[in-house]
Amino acid sequence: MPVLLLMIFFAVTGLYLNHPEFDAGDVTNHQQTLTLPKQLSALPNWPEYYAQHSLLLLHWLDSEHNIRGVDFDIEWDDFDSLLILNLAGPNGSTVVEVLLEDQEVLVDERQLSLLAMLNNVHRAKHVSGLWRLVSDLSAVCMLLFCVSGFWLVIMNKFERRNANIALVFGSSFFVLIILLMH
Protein backbone atom coordinates (compact mmCIF):
# COMPACT_ATOMS: atom_id res chain seq x y z
CA MET A 1 0.00 0.00 0.00
CA PRO A 2 2.78 2.54 0.76
CA VAL A 3 4.25 1.93 -2.71
CA LEU A 4 0.90 2.76 -4.30
CA LEU A 5 0.60 5.95 -2.25
CA LEU A 6 4.11 6.99 -3.27
CA MET A 7 3.29 6.22 -6.91
CA ILE A 8 0.23 8.48 -6.66
CA PHE A 9 2.33 11.20 -5.00
CA PHE A 10 5.03 11.08 -7.69
CA ALA A 11 2.44 10.91 -10.49
CA VAL A 12 0.47 13.94 -9.25
CA THR A 13 3.52 16.08 -8.49
CA GLY A 14 5.13 14.96 -11.74
CA LEU A 15 2.05 16.22 -13.62
CA TYR A 16 2.39 19.62 -11.96
CA LEU A 17 6.14 19.70 -12.65
CA ASN A 18 5.48 19.05 -16.34
CA HIS A 19 2.94 21.89 -16.45
CA PRO A 20 4.35 24.94 -14.64
CA GLU A 21 1.49 27.02 -16.04
CA PHE A 22 -0.85 25.34 -13.53
CA ASP A 23 -1.36 27.66 -10.59
CA ALA A 24 0.70 26.41 -7.67
CA GLY A 25 -0.53 29.07 -5.25
CA ASP A 26 0.93 32.25 -3.91
CA VAL A 27 4.32 32.77 -2.36
CA THR A 28 4.14 34.65 0.93
CA ASN A 29 6.92 36.91 2.15
CA HIS A 30 7.44 37.77 5.78
CA GLN A 31 10.05 40.20 7.08
CA GLN A 32 11.05 40.83 10.65
CA THR A 33 13.80 42.49 12.62
CA LEU A 34 15.26 40.77 15.67
CA THR A 35 17.71 41.95 18.27
CA LEU A 36 20.96 40.01 18.36
CA PRO A 37 21.38 38.53 21.85
CA LYS A 38 24.27 39.79 23.95
CA GLN A 39 25.96 36.37 24.15
CA LEU A 40 26.21 36.32 20.34
CA SER A 41 27.17 39.95 19.83
CA ALA A 42 29.90 39.57 22.48
CA LEU A 43 31.64 36.76 20.59
CA PRO A 44 35.18 37.81 19.65
CA ASN A 45 36.55 38.45 16.18
CA TRP A 46 33.49 37.90 13.94
CA PRO A 47 35.36 38.57 10.66
CA GLU A 48 37.80 35.74 11.30
CA TYR A 49 35.49 33.23 13.03
CA TYR A 50 32.19 34.04 11.32
CA ALA A 51 31.62 30.41 10.24
CA GLN A 52 31.88 29.07 13.80
CA HIS A 53 29.84 31.96 15.23
CA SER A 54 27.20 31.39 12.55
CA LEU A 55 26.51 27.91 13.90
CA LEU A 56 25.65 29.43 17.27
CA LEU A 57 23.48 31.98 15.48
CA LEU A 58 21.69 29.21 13.56
CA HIS A 59 21.03 27.37 16.81
CA TRP A 60 19.59 30.55 18.35
CA LEU A 61 17.37 31.19 15.30
CA ASP A 62 16.11 27.61 15.38
CA SER A 63 15.44 27.34 19.10
CA GLU A 64 14.12 30.85 19.78
CA HIS A 65 12.43 31.85 16.51
CA ASN A 66 11.71 28.59 14.66
CA ILE A 67 13.81 29.72 11.69
CA ARG A 68 15.68 26.86 10.01
CA GLY A 69 16.68 25.38 6.71
CA VAL A 70 17.93 22.06 5.39
CA ASP A 71 20.64 23.66 3.26
CA PHE A 72 22.47 26.85 4.20
CA ASP A 73 25.18 29.16 2.92
CA ILE A 74 27.23 31.55 5.05
CA GLU A 75 28.84 34.71 3.68
CA TRP A 76 30.79 37.50 5.34
CA ASP A 77 30.89 41.03 3.90
CA ASP A 78 34.01 42.81 5.16
CA PHE A 79 32.96 46.21 3.85
CA ASP A 80 29.69 46.37 5.83
CA SER A 81 30.69 43.97 8.64
CA LEU A 82 27.64 42.00 7.61
CA LEU A 83 26.93 38.30 7.99
CA ILE A 84 24.53 36.80 5.45
CA LEU A 85 22.89 33.41 5.93
CA ASN A 86 20.85 31.80 3.15
CA LEU A 87 18.63 29.03 4.49
CA ALA A 88 16.65 26.79 2.15
CA GLY A 89 14.12 24.03 2.68
CA PRO A 90 11.44 22.41 0.54
CA ASN A 91 8.87 24.85 1.94
CA GLY A 92 10.78 28.02 1.02
CA SER A 93 13.86 30.05 1.76
CA THR A 94 15.06 32.56 4.33
CA VAL A 95 17.75 35.22 4.07
CA VAL A 96 19.19 36.35 7.40
CA GLU A 97 21.38 39.45 7.56
CA VAL A 98 23.22 40.15 10.79
CA LEU A 99 24.26 43.78 11.31
CA LEU A 100 26.84 43.44 14.07
CA GLU A 101 27.35 47.18 14.61
CA ASP A 102 23.59 47.71 15.12
CA GLN A 103 23.11 44.33 16.84
CA GLU A 104 20.15 43.63 14.53
CA VAL A 105 19.12 40.52 12.67
CA LEU A 106 17.04 41.14 9.53
CA VAL A 107 15.01 38.10 8.49
CA ASP A 108 13.31 37.78 5.09
CA GLU A 109 11.27 34.59 4.78
CA ARG A 110 9.75 33.32 1.53
CA GLN A 111 7.09 30.65 2.15
CA LEU A 112 6.02 28.52 -0.82
CA SER A 113 2.54 27.14 -1.38
CA LEU A 114 1.75 23.53 -0.49
CA LEU A 115 1.90 22.42 -4.12
CA ALA A 116 5.23 24.15 -4.74
CA MET A 117 6.59 22.54 -1.58
CA LEU A 118 5.41 19.09 -2.72
CA ASN A 119 7.08 19.69 -6.09
CA ASN A 120 10.35 20.43 -4.27
CA VAL A 121 9.93 17.22 -2.28
CA HIS A 122 9.33 15.33 -5.55
CA ARG A 123 12.61 16.67 -6.94
CA ALA A 124 14.39 16.06 -3.61
CA LYS A 125 15.29 19.75 -3.57
CA HIS A 126 16.48 20.97 -0.15
CA VAL A 127 15.27 17.83 1.64
CA SER A 128 16.83 15.79 4.40
CA GLY A 129 18.65 12.50 4.00
CA LEU A 130 15.61 10.65 5.34
CA TRP A 131 13.46 11.77 2.41
CA ARG A 132 16.22 10.83 -0.04
CA LEU A 133 16.25 7.35 1.53
CA VAL A 134 12.45 7.05 1.30
CA SER A 135 12.56 8.25 -2.31
CA ASP A 136 15.27 5.74 -3.24
CA LEU A 137 13.46 2.90 -1.49
CA SER A 138 10.21 3.81 -3.22
CA ALA A 139 11.99 3.73 -6.60
CA VAL A 140 13.31 0.25 -5.87
CA CYS A 141 9.86 -0.91 -4.69
CA MET A 142 8.17 0.55 -7.77
CA LEU A 143 10.70 -1.20 -9.99
CA LEU A 144 10.05 -4.53 -8.23
CA PHE A 145 6.30 -3.88 -8.48
CA CYS A 146 6.55 -3.35 -12.25
CA VAL A 147 8.93 -6.26 -12.87
CA SER A 148 6.74 -8.65 -10.84
CA GLY A 149 3.67 -7.55 -12.82
CA PHE A 150 5.56 -8.08 -16.06
CA TRP A 151 6.68 -11.52 -14.86
CA LEU A 152 3.08 -12.49 -13.96
CA VAL A 153 1.88 -11.56 -17.44
CA ILE A 154 4.68 -13.57 -19.07
CA MET A 155 3.92 -16.61 -16.94
CA ASN A 156 0.17 -16.48 -17.63
CA LYS A 157 -0.26 -18.34 -20.94
CA PHE A 158 -3.78 -17.01 -21.48
CA GLU A 159 -2.72 -13.36 -21.35
CA ARG A 160 0.70 -13.68 -22.97
CA ARG A 161 -0.46 -12.85 -26.53
CA ASN A 162 -2.38 -9.70 -25.48
CA ALA A 163 0.49 -8.65 -23.25
CA ASN A 164 3.01 -9.05 -26.06
CA ILE A 165 0.85 -6.95 -28.39
CA ALA A 166 0.55 -4.23 -25.72
CA LEU A 167 4.29 -4.42 -25.07
CA VAL A 168 5.16 -4.03 -28.75
CA PHE A 169 2.76 -1.13 -29.32
CA GLY A 170 3.69 0.61 -26.07
CA SER A 171 7.42 0.24 -26.67
CA SER A 172 7.07 1.41 -30.27
CA PHE A 173 5.10 4.45 -29.16
CA PHE A 174 7.72 5.26 -26.49
CA VAL A 175 10.61 4.94 -28.97
CA LEU A 176 8.71 7.07 -31.52
CA ILE A 177 8.17 9.83 -28.95
CA ILE A 178 11.85 9.77 -27.99
CA LEU A 179 12.90 9.99 -31.65
CA LEU A 180 10.50 12.87 -32.31
CA MET A 181 11.92 14.83 -29.38
CA HIS A 182 15.37 14.98 -30.99
- What tens digit of pLDDT does each residue of 105-132 get? 999 999 998 888 988 899 889 998 899 9
Task: Tell me the mean pLDDT in the region 144-169.
Answer: 81
Same domain, 89 and 62: yes
- Round to whole Å and give the CA distance between 115 and 51: 34
Same domain, 106 and 52: yes
Provide the whole-model pTM: 0.75
78: Cβ contacts below 8 Å, ≥ 6 apart = 47
Q: Does residue 44 surpass a pLDDT of 80?
A: yes
Top pLDDT among 85 and 41 is at 85
Which residues sit opposite 86 in a β-bridge? 73, 95
The answer to the question of residue 121 being in a domain is no
Q: How many domains does the chain have?
A: 2
The answer to the question of residue 41 being in a domain is yes
Range of the domain at 71: 28-111
**Per-residue pLDDT, 16:** 85
The answer to the question of residue 49 being in a domain is yes
CATH number of domain containing 51: 3.30.160
The answer to the question of residue 123 being in a domain is no
Core vs surface per residue 62-101: b (16+ CB within 10 A) or e: eeeeebebeebebebeeeeebbbbebbbbbbbbbbbbebe
Helices 2-18 and 129-155, axial angle in degrees (round to 10): 110
Q: What is the DSSP string of 13-77?
A: HHHHHH-TTS-----EEEEEEEEPPHHHHT-S-HHHHHHHHHHHHHHHHHHHH----SEEEEEEE
Same domain, 107 and 174: no
Same domain, 97 and 147: no
